[in-house]
Amino acid sequence: MDWQVTKGTAAPLGATLTATGCNFAIHAPNAKGLTLVIFDDNNDHHSIPLYKNHSHIYSAHVSGIQAGMRYAYSVISPKETLWLLDPYAHQLTDNPLSETVPTAVIRHHGFDWQNTEKPQIEQANTLVYELHVKGFTQLHPDIPAALQGKYLGLCHPACIEHFKSLGITTLQLMPIATSLDEAHLHDKELTNFWGYNPLCWFAPDTKFAISDPITELKTMVRTLHQHGIEVILDVVYNHTAESGHGGPIFNFKQLAPKAYLMNGQGEFENYSGCGNTVDLNYPPVLRTVMDSLRHWVEEYQIDGFRFDLAATLGRRGPLFDRRSAFFQSIHQDPVLQSTKLIAEPWDIGPNGYQLGGFPMRWNECNDKFRDITRSFWNHKTSLGDFATRLMGSRDLFSASKWPDKLSVNYISYHDGFTLQDLVSYNHKHNEANKESNRDGHGDNRSFNHGIEGPTDTFAIINLRERQKRNLITSLLFSFGIPHLLAVDSLSHTQKGNNNAYCQDSEISWANWQLNKVQDDFQQWLQKIIAARSQFMVPFIEGFSGESRGEHRINWMKPNSQRLNVDDWHQHSPIILHLGLYHCGSELLYLINPDKVPTRFRLPKGSPWEIICDTADLNPSQPTVCTTHMQSAHSMTILHRR
């Protein structure tokens, strides 16, 4: 090929098209024998020498290179040729060079965004809806077969209608960056369906595309934005698919081993549980992660990120530091200033549980809300614990920092039981994962209400549905940002599997064929989400910031008397009375976790309007004045102006 090769520039890293060709730059402290390899249309490969720049960056500018051409790097030794993937690759091919290493595709990122603006949903109005791109659309009957399981399926009118009818503001997509199956899954003929094993931090996964992952993902984001829906990506920067000792080599292990934390014996630290731990105090890796985040925002107009095992990102060696280099870099970066940042605030390393420990601008997934709310309705936990979570976990997230530091409250996430399974199983049933049911969490706080799994017994079905409504009402009328697992809106069951990471099957695929009970729940959910937006959001806004002390909070017994100290340690009926300012709007929560009905005496004044009664899909008594008989295992939310 008649290509002219010059030194090129050290920035930006990756493959960058120019007016005359393409500039290649890669950080490679261990660059001995490193060569750029370009593949032509006949799949012949051509080796290109690299020139050393500053800071261990090697570069080359190759004239005549065009978008669509493929490239990789190689290290040639007397024994073998080791193929390496550019850590900055923007698109990968499906055909590997070696057993697992794919080639990268040089891309031009031009796209017509049609002047579409980002929705920029305020924190108090945000309703996060977590889903898997394939799992959510794979079985949707109104989506054409070619689009099912794809980026373009997620923005099909049938999905848009579903999101809008529910009142969803923000989609949180499980990882869409290119990931890789672990070796042990191949032996079991399973796959890493969830995608939490990243191969490349810049490249959208081709398995969710028909032909062009970059254009199709951008089209999806543009369409969702045009309908006022944000897109948040679940990103994994705590480890890579290179695993630990003996694991595969894709790039960092060969190019820059300091990318990973090592212990005193020269072994990989494994704070992620996946074999290695990325060290974000190593400046070149921090730069790569920051460049990746900016790439998703600038090229794909992404609205925010949920960071998997985010405690790892704030580590300085074995210690967590909220002033670490990563947090400081995020805080000052102008491109990321308007993005939503959600942390999974833990990892499995020492001092790894950091709920409430992240700096300003970071919202955090609140597992205490999950566990205590589950326990309150399915078993027993104290009123004090439940009240603390309902009121926004202010022991961890001070209201003085709301709405910037609102807790992300949830009942179910992708890992663990779905909402339906939470009220249908006492124990996990993960046999399909082929690990003899040893995997998955054992502390589920679930209750089957008399029969393990599916049943035709009306009384059990009725109680399960009521408990689902109790859990969701507690979530939507708590202070915080509610997170909904998308398949819960369809009453999806994973058949008791609480760790379906390897299930690319109907266990994980949303079932859109709803029976009457499931359809009733979805219609109820639409109403309760609309009620939250109308009635609860003003209270979250009112209780946030400097005016929070001007509003009213009263906890009372069913007879309207104030609680004493001992009452907070009980598991019994309770009233929460909220009011804005001295005489503004009021909300009243009548909460009855007991097995018997309880009559509540209501605060005096004008009649109360029933917003929701979890014991009744269609309350026949729209207003009440003095007392209300609350059914067993239920709660009612009332409002008056």
- Residues that are catalytic: 308, 344
**What CA–CA distances, in Å, run from 26 to 8, 98, 236, 297, 531?**
11, 21, 21, 22, 53
**Rounded Cα distance, 484 and 500, in Å:** 17
How many CB atoms are located within 10 Å of the residue 561 CB? 11
**Rounded Cα distance, 235 and 338, in Å:** 17
Q: Which amino acid is at 503?
A: Q
**Rounded Cα distance, 488 and 170, in Å:** 16
Q: For 590, what's the count of Cα atoms within 13 Å in the CB-facing half-sphere?
A: 30
Rg from Cα positions in the chain: 26
Q: Which residue has tokens 């080791």?
A: 82
Three-state DSSP state, 554:
strand
Backbone angles phi, psi at 460, to 5 degrees: -70, -45
**What CA–CA distances, in Å, run from 472 to 96, 124, 245, 467, 488?**
45, 17, 44, 9, 10
Q: Which residue has tokens 């070796």?
A: 183
- Nearest CA to 306 among 180, 415, 389? 415
Backbone angles phi, psi at 220, to 5 degrees: -60, -50
The residue count of the chain comes to 641
What's the CA angle centered on 638, arms 491 and 479, to 5 degrees? Answer: 65
Q: Which residue has tokens 């977590």?
A: 130
Contact 496, 425 (CB under 8 A): yes
Contact 273, 279 (CB under 8 A): no
Contact 129, 486 (CB under 8 A): yes
Torsion sign over Cα 287, 293, 294, 300 = positive
